[in-house]
Amino acid sequence: MTEKAFHENIKRILISEAEIKAKIKEAGEQISQDYKEKPLLLVSILNGAFVFMADLCRAISIPCEIAFLCAKSYYNETVSSGTVEIVMDLKQDISQYHVLIIEDIIDTGRTLHDILQLLKARNPLSLNVITLLDKPDRRVIDLKPNRSLFTIPDIFVIGYGLDCGEIYRNLPYIAEYDSKETI
């Protein structure tokens, strides 16, 4: 992609760096209270949630461990729940941890549904979800995160870890993607 097309596809900033930072500070403080004196494992879903994880873990002031899970889901239009392929699994036995899943966005809910099933079967002490963005209008599976920092309408967004064709993850804000200018 040319640099010109890269910039032209960024339609408008939806959520600024400052807005994200303020919400993360608040969430970090709440998590630090909720998990006080508990063995906490933050599990970030790759690739999208890597930026959110990096900022959120630094807003948490209690001891915690971090881990990464890379999953790919395969679905077709007639099957409402498919299979999730674990591209990179967790290294630790999670039965001794309170697990908090760090997700970038919940869209149809399918990916997270499958990941929750998978991790539940490993008997963590507790299992909760925090997502940066929630697109409830697109939900196919009835699933609510325990905490969502921003609820957004049914538009395609990029930046702050979220991609379009693996590009745009490095934008420091969340923007609406303008598909008119594709290469």
Taking the complex as a whole, the smallest distance from the CB of residue 28 to ligand IMP amounts, in Å, to 21
Which tokens belong to 169?
């993850």
DSSP 47: T
Q: Is 145 in the site for Mg ion (CB under 5 A)?
A: no
Which listed option, ligand IMP, Mg ion, none, makes contact with residue 128 (CB within 5 to 8 Å by class)?
none
Whose Cβ is closer to ligand IMP: residue 15's or residue 162's? 162
Residue 52 or 97 having the CB closest to ligand IMP: 52
Question: CA-to-CA distance for 98 and 105, rounded, in angstroms?
Answer: 21
Token match 């999953």: residue?
71
In the chain, count of helices (H) and strands (E)?
4, 9
**Could you say which of 34, 55, 107, 178 is catalytic?**
107
The span from the CA of 70 to the CA of 77, in Å, is 23
Question: Cβ neighbours of residue 182 under 8 Å, at least 6 residues apart?
Answer: 5, 9
Selection from Mg ion, ligand IMP, none that 173 binds (CB < 5 to 8 A by kind) is none
> Of 35 and 105, which has the nearer Cβ to ligand IMP?
105
107 is catalytic: yes
Phi-psi region of 44 (alpha: psi -120 to 50; beta: other; left: phi over 0): beta
Q: Closest approach of Cβ 62 to Mg ion, in Å? A: 26
Among 31, 48, 51, 135, binds Mg ion (CB under 5 A): 48
Q: Cα–Cα distance between 149 and 171 in angstroms, integer?
A: 18
Quickly list H helices, 50-107: 50-57
109 part of the interface to ligand IMP, by CB under 6 A = yes
CA angle 82, 87, 158 (to 5 degrees): 80
- Residues within window 125-164 making contact with ligand IMP, judged by CB under 6 A: 156-157, 162
Which one of the spans 16-24, 35-43, 78-86, 108-116 is the region binding ligand IMP (CB under 6 A)? 108-116
Q: Which residues bind ligand IMP (CB under 6 A)?
A: 48, 73, 104-112, 156-157, 162
Residues that bind Mg ion (CB under 5 A): 48, 104
Q: Which residues are catalytic?
A: 107
